[in-house]
Amino acid sequence: MFRISDILKRHKEPEGEKPAEAGSPKQETPSVQPQEPQGTQPAKQVSISSSLDKEAIKVNAIDVTRLYESALEKAREMYRPKTSYEPDFLLGFSAIVESFVDLLKENNKELLTYCVAEFKELGDYLYYHAVNVAIISVEIGIGIGFERSRLIELGIAGFVHDIGLVKYLDLAHKKEVLTKEEYEMLKQHPKAGYEILSKLGKDTIPPIVLEVVLKEHERLDGTGYPNGLKGNEVDEFAQIIGLADKYEAMIHDRPFRKKYSSLETVKEILSYKNEFDIRFIKTLIEHFGVFPLGTSVRLNTKEVGVVIKDNRRSPLRPTVNIVYDAYGKPLKEPKTIDLSLNPVVYIEESLTTVSQENQQAKKEPGSDTKA
């Protein structure tokens, strides 16, 4: 088990170890992208899922790629502007959520690689966000120890948590940071979502889901919205989905800014200790790691690779598939290194950095909703 405080320390080479050779060349960073969850596999692209630890993935009859694509299609259907929603609203995606739960309970890492991968189309970010928040929330729930029925409710709540944004799509897709007035308007989307789902009746939408939709932007310290609730007024599901919502937004591009680096994301998540139960923060970091599956990283040896397996006991030392050598040349055959067994080798940096624009965006009024 690791201590939360350890994550904030600068990750340096162990004392007494020899550094990488001084003459190691400094090359332009090659582009290493995780496998896209949609479409056919491009030629010469590194397959993250096929490189994952085989012991961590049980063979399952479910085609994970097709399941993820089906979830995206359902999200597109749900998050389109509508005058009203039909009583069979839950049909289709409730079955998808059950499949998510079963796969994640079997420790299927392939599904996690899809929810942290790049979006195929940035304009579809709202659909990806709904699906990914459902997956991330269920994974946190598994870490907390929720039973299957609660995990399914949690996943459903994650899927629909932003349904109120259908009333504010022009603001949600804006390419600039929101003005203070626009942000105040967008902060009403939890109430809009609650009203949309309430009309379907409690027999269609579980009460816990309704409560989450209304409260997932509330915070333990009372800094959230729309009602400024605090402490026990913010239930566990609302906290988990609120945290998953923040995390998912930071690890992906948004219309008005680039995604955050892995280390910056973790540092930011740790700053929320007054807003969320520390158990949920700790579980999120343990299950997704400091460097999530699929993250491109450069080692102190100057080799470039992709994280293919996390290490919950030592999150800074995952297993990496090396795909480029120290000179930036692609390897004919990727080699795998477990950093927990190689103390001299460590991750020097993730290959996504936080831009000055991102840092400025964090200070703007709309940065909470569009984090």
Beta bridge partners of 33: none
pLDDT at 25: 44
As a whole number of angstroms, the distance between CA 302 and CA 297 comes to 10
Domain containing residue 185: 41-289
**CATH classification at residue 234:** 1.10.3210.10
What does the pLDDT read at residue 58?
Answer: 38
Question: Would residue 81 count as lying in a domain?
Answer: yes
Nearest 5°: phi and psi at 52? -65, 155
Q: Which residue numbers in the chain have pLDDT < 50? A: 1-61, 353-370
Question: What single letter denotes the amino acid at residue 69?
Answer: E
What's the residue count for the chain?
371
Looking at residue 271, its pLDDT comes to 94
Q: Is the peptide bond before 226 cis (omega within 30 degrees of 0)?
A: yes
List, for residues 318-351, the tens digit of each pLDDT value. 999 999 999 999 998 889 999 999 989 999 888 7
pLDDT in tens, 146-198: 999 999 999 999 999 999 999 998 888 888 888 999 999 999 999 999 999 98
Cα–Cα dist 244/313, whole Å: 21
Q: Residue 359's pLDDT is what?
A: 41
Give helix 64-78 / helix 148-160 axis angle, nearest 10°: 50
- Asked if residue 7 belongs to a domain, the reply is no
Structure confidence at residue 360 (pLDDT): 41
* 247 domain residue, yes or no: yes
Residue type for position 93: F
Is 161 part of a structural domain of the chain?
A: yes
299 lies in some domain: no
Is residue 297 situated within a structural domain?
A: no
Q: Is residue 125 assigned to a domain?
A: yes
| pLDDT (0 to 100) of residue 352 | 57
DSSP code per residue over 50-94: HHS-GGG----SS-HHHHHHHHHHHHHHHTS--S---TTTTTTHH
Report yes or no on 169 lying in a domain: yes
Total number of domains constituting the chain: 1
